[in-house]
Structure 1
């Protein structure tokens, strides 16, 4: 029961908006900001399990700021091999680039979505196709939460491959974290929160080698943001928006 609850909460996954926004939808959107309209399309990459509409608040904020936004649901809701999800994501990035005419996209990955995006950039040619990488609560170096089933003596993540791969010390993470954490000329940003109940230790959600690592409570001591809350939190969004415009880190602690 405990693992089932963990898997249900481990991340949310965006399911509904797999296609690039249609011309009709774009026409109905708010007038774009000049900087956003000229920027890369943004792909919000969902995580493991969750409900289809969970990323819409984040996507809506981005649209309101004028960005061309699409959401990517991990194949099989992200329960399978992360590297296979990354290969599928590579095809989706090419679809977005072809549909928009953009040379590069920016990615905002929540939890497992950050790992999928990072594998794509590092090992599948994504370094030349991604301009900015932003992860929200991604267990870059694993999480003890994924080790709980083994600790309880009920197997290794009950056979859920992605959970096994997010276990601290997994062969997947050893490969992902070998060499440079931040290859290419991609601008790398990670966002984490002290109240993340699913990525423990919290420091494992950050990257080395020149990444901009933002701990929300370093800036906003009293801000309470959980793992799933990173998707809907206003302060977190101000970090995302700043990263997309290469602005200095200045989270708005009072943003709704």
Structure 2
């Protein structure tokens, strides 16, 4: 397991006992839920990229945070919408942050992450090299959502990424594939033509089905590669990567976290955990900087 443990990663019953006296637990839960709810519609549609530490290729990592952070969006997402909350959240804590757009298919605007996973991993490799060259760093950290938490593992295992990545944080990653609550399994058994159609329009979708050739090769011989620190943050309410336990990794340097063990009141599902949930983001930052990790609980949404 990881050599550190977030002080907030405690059983839910212990978390409840840890609240100080003051406002009721119901009031606290409502505050946490409001702060963890989607804010994308309320956010300003544009943000500076050169003064905020986001996508600033002149950004030089500090001694405190010597590795740039590369954010990797999920299937059907793009760098801007997936990280509207996450990018400024991480950058405001002193990291150089870069957002990768990958997996584009010809004639399909905005909806990215749909190309074959192996092709997307090559894009990630090229982008990491660009970030390292610009910043002068020797390694990056990666935070990815959904496919963006799984696809970097292909880069680590097959494309030489292990030497260039220090930490991989996956938010609801499709590490062992998904049944999409049985829909893909049902289609494969009774409507094979539907699966072919999905595969034609979205090769990454079929790559992520449990038992796909991609999943078999990715996970053959173990979930991890030596030298990389792994954190997986999953939600019990995930309706896309199912069962949610399939997101977890096994290995000597793995930290698996259930979001509701950090804050039982957090109802975030698959999309929210990777796009707007500040509790998940707080735990992700703990993984990026474990030496200065702080408690992750319902109050983390206020930070």
* Alignment TM class, shorter chain as reference: 0.7 to 0.9
Contact 2:114 2:205 in 1 (8 A): yes
> Aligned partners of 2:76, 2:187: CA distance in 1, in Å?
18
> Aligned partners of 2:294, 2:155: CA distance in 1, in Å?
26
Task: Indicate the residue corresponding to 1:204 in structure 2.
Answer: 246
Residue 61 of structure 1 pairs with residue 89 of structure 2: yes
Kindly state the Cα deviation for residue 151 of structure 1 after the two structures are TM-superposed: 5.1
Task: Indicate the residue corresponding to 1:216 in structure 2.
Answer: 259
Kindly state the Cα deviation for residue 250 of structure 1 after the two structures are TM-superposed: 4.0
Residue 91 of structure 1 pairs with residue 129 of structure 2: no
SS of 2:166's partner is: strand
Larger radius of gyration: 2
Question: Structure 1-normalised TM-score?
Answer: 0.83
Kindly state the Cα deviation for residue 219 of structure 1 after the two structures are TM-superposed: 2.8
- Counterpart of 1:122 (choices 157, 161, 172) is 157
> Aligned partners of 1:179, 1:139: CA distance in 2, in Å?
18
Question: Structure 2-normalised TM-score?
Answer: 0.71
Deviations 1:209-248 (A, max 9, x none): 1311001112322211111111211110111010001256
Q: Give unpaired runs (5+ residues) of structure 2.
A: 1-44, 105-111
Task: Indicate the residue corresponding to 1:10 in structure 2.
Answer: none
Task: Indicate the residue corresponding to 2:24 in structure 1.
Answer: none
Alignment of 1:90-169 (within 5 A): 90-145=125-180, 146-147=184-185, 149-150=187-188, 153=191, 154-156=193-195, 158-159=198-199, 160-169=202-211
Task: Indicate the residue corresponding to 1:7 in structure 2.
Answer: none
The answer to which of 48-57 and 143-152 deviates more is 143-152
Kindly state the Cα deviation for residue 186 of structure 1 after the two structures are TM-superposed: 0.9
> Aligned partners of 1:249, 1:151: CA distance in 2, in Å?
47
The answer to which of 55-64 and 45-54 deviates more is 45-54
- How many positions carry a matched residue from both structures? 233
> Aligned partners of 1:229, 1:237: CA distance in 2, in Å?
11
What is the RMSD of the two structures over their aligned residues, measured on CA atoms? 2.5
Task: Indicate the residue corresponding to 1:254 in structure 2.
Answer: 299
> Aligned partners of 1:198, 1:163: CA distance in 2, in Å?
11
> Aligned partners of 1:75, 1:99: CA distance in 2, in Å?
23
Residue 46 of structure 1 pairs with residue 81 of structure 2: no
Kindly state the Cα deviation for residue 254 of structure 1 after the two structures are TM-superposed: 2.2
Alignment of 1:189-200 (within 5 A): 189-200=231-242
Contact 2:53 2:91 in 1 (8 A): no
Deviations 1:110-144 (A, max 9, x none): 01111221110111111000011000101111111
Alignment of 1:19-30 (within 5 A): 22=50, 24=51, 26=53
> Aligned partners of 2:234, 2:117: CA distance in 1, in Å?
21
Task: Indicate the residue corresponding to 2:113 in structure 1.
Answer: 78
Kindly state the Cα deviation for residue 35 of structure 1 after the two structures are TM-superposed: 7.0
> Aligned partners of 1:200, 1:174: CA distance in 2, in Å?
17
SS of 1:221's partner is: coil
Q: Give unpaired runs (5+ residues) of structure 1.
A: 1-15
